[in-house]
Amino acid sequence: MAEVKTATAMTRNVRISQYKVRQVLELIRGKSAERAQVILKFSDKKAAGIILKVLNSAMANAEHNYGMDLDKLYVHAAYADKGPVMKRFRPVSMGRAHPYVHRTSHVTITLGERQ
């Protein structure tokens, strides 16, 4: 079995929940890089803009660092991991406070080159 050449890009501590990012990543996993760009450009989710930046970075890494052909690239792996959680409190009536959290995520996209 031939080894697949890959190029990776990631962003860390993005201020959006990993669950919301994973919904959009499901749309592009396994697609060609150009097709994934079109899907992300026309998606109305907030995560689509973040993922598009990471995808463009991975494509630039593939071309510049590894000399890969942009027309043969596809999304080999795409995943979102849990990042640090910012814990906050919201004041409510009678001097009390309710806790809530701001979730963050780490987004990683790996592109492979089709033979």
What mean pLDDT do residues 12-27 have? 97
Q: Mean pLDDT, the chain, as a whole number?
A: 96
Which pLDDT does position 115 carry in this prediction? 83
What mean pLDDT do residues 86-104 have? 97
Q: Is 53 helix (H, G, I), strand (E, B) or coil?
A: helix
pTM listed for this prediction:
0.92
| Structure token digits, residue 108 | 């990683």
Q: Is 80 exposed, middle or buried (0-12, 13-18, 19+ CB in 10 A)?
A: buried
60 residue type, one letter: A
Which pLDDT does position 1 carry in this prediction? 53
